[in-house]
Amino acid sequence: MTFDADCIFCKIIKGEIPSFRILEDGSTLAFMDINPGNAGHALVIPKYHTPDFLEAPEDWLSATMVTAQKVARAVEKTLEPHGINIVVAHGAGAAQSVFHLHVHVLPRAEGDDLRLNWGLVPGDMDAIGELAERIKANMGVL
């Protein structure tokens, strides 16, 4: 496994920093966020240091998302929240603060006012269609 000696999540994986672990397997670790948006807010990380979503090897990304689903199911059963956000921030501009891939499992309460969602404002369909074509053109080159 690859670790970064300066990464807080790598230190949590190795047990150098305490955490409230809720699920662990050979590839992933899930633990409670100590700065929760709401009660039950958990983080899921691969046991492989990869700085972000785009650099993560597919097998580690897949394992991380499967674990996130298991955690979300347990949170749903435990808390019966109004909803659950599954969030991955990619890069500083998206408010990624720890540069080790992590998935937030964030239970939502009705009226909690967490600023994660954006308003539903219809977009320009021509511009959306044009952008879709540009993105599709890059799908095969990655």
Active-site residue, from 41, 49, 100, 102: 102
| 90 has catalytic annotation | no
Closest-CA residue to 23 (of 5, 47, 6): 47
Break the chain down into helix, strand, coil percent, rounded to 5: 30, 20, 50
Which one-letter DSSP state was computed for residue 33?
-
- C-alpha span between 60 and 66 (Å, rounded): 10
The residues assigned a catalytic role are: 102
